[in-house]
Amino acid sequence: MQQTLSALITGASSGIGAALAHALAAPGAVLHLGGRDAGRLDAVAAACRARGAEVWPQSLDVRDGAAMAEWIGGVGRLDLVIANAGISGGTGDGVAEPPAQVRAILAANLDGMLHTVLPAWAAMRGQAPAADGVRGRIAVIASLAGFVASAQAPTYCASKAAADTWTVASAPSARREGVMLTSVCPGFVRTPMTAGNHFRMPGLIDADVAARRILRGIAAGRVRVAFPWWLALAAQVAGALPPALLHAAGRRRPGKAGLPDGG
């Protein structure tokens, strides 16, 4: 990834988003960082400025489509946009997800993703291409969870499956317009989101390691970046199992905690 660039990241106040901001921060870089927690976002911005980057934090919610369109449309040229914001929740003790949780997860992980990608794609379409012919790059942070219809986190899995499928399927059209779309499907990453998982997380890695892998994949122009490879393969195999076998295996695993107050 080039050092002098203009990048926009949602969900940049913690976890993978903060790690991506830190990895991109360098003299000449202009970072537009979005998040809901203004205090944590300012702390990330300060750390990135200390590395020499010009940083413009913006406290907003990706579920607000009008606010997102206004923000993205007003920052000027964007070389890289990363739709990272999202939330996670599961069935907890095995009961059905509350309707409010279902809607909250879909609103953040799917609508929020589209509220980021669609205005970014429109803006990049009108930008002059760089020396490599690319007008801009957009990455969507999905998950290996999207490969498996897990009864422990049905809406989270569905939201990430939709995000991954839409991004991969839209990539050819975007690339004909000079915009590179990449779906990023990480495994378990050590973040506040996974801190509440009370089950074994194979292949767990730190957020800064994940950020480096993500940026390498985006720079290489890959349509999908999935890691670790062995867990991605296992998830694909599990996703191909008959539902009865998949759900029988899942019953032996503790559930993922639900959202506070059901959403």
Of 34-43, 57-66, 117-126, 253-262, the range with the lowest mean pLDDT is: 253-262
Q: Give the alpha-carbon dihedral of 115, 117, 120, 126, to 10 degrees.
A: -120
pLDDT confidence of 254, banded at 50, 70, 90?
Answer: low
Q: What percent of the chain has pLDDT over 90?
A: 76
Instruction: Band the pLDDT of 91: cuts 50, 70, 90.
Output: confident
Rounded distance between C-alpha atoms, residue 255 and residue 257, angstroms: 6
Find the mean pLDDT for residues 180-184.
Answer: 98
Query: Which residue from 180, 234, 230 is spatially nearest to 205, judged by alpha carbons?
Result: 230
From 28, 39, 31, select the one nearest 10 (Cα to Cα).
31
Residue 212 scores a pLDDT above 50: yes
Q: What is the pLDDT of residues 30-71, one digit of tens each?
A: 999 999 999 999 999 999 999 999 999 999 999 999 999 999
Active site (catalytic) residues: 156
Residue type, 123: A
Q: Is the pLDDT of residue 257 over 90?
A: no
Backbone Cα Rg of the chain: 18
Residue 136 has pLDDT above 70, yes or no: yes
Q: 3-state class of 80 per DSSP?
A: strand
What's the pLDDT at 245? 80
Q: Which residue has the higher pLDDT, 22 or 201?
A: 22
Domains and CATH numbers, the chain: 6-262 (3.40.50.720)
pLDDT of residue 3: 46
209: pLDDT confidence band, cut at 50, 70 and 90?
very high
Amino acid identity at 238: A
Determine the Cα–Cα distance for residues 221 and 129; give it in Å rounded to an integer: 15
Helix (H) or strand (E) holding 140: strand 136-141
DSSP states of 14-74: SHHHHHHHHHH--TT-EEEEEES-HHHHHHHHHHHHHTT-EEEEEE--TT-HHHHHHHHHT
Angle subtended at Cα 86 by Cα 42 and Cα 256, rounded to the nearest 5 degrees: 120
Confidence band of 201 (pLDDT split at 50, 70, 90): confident
Closest Cα partner for 132 from 184, 90, 178, 92?
178
Instruction: State the alpha helices, DSSP H only, in the chain.
Output: 15-24, 38-50, 65-73, 99-106, 112-125, 154-176, 207-219, 229-239, 243-250
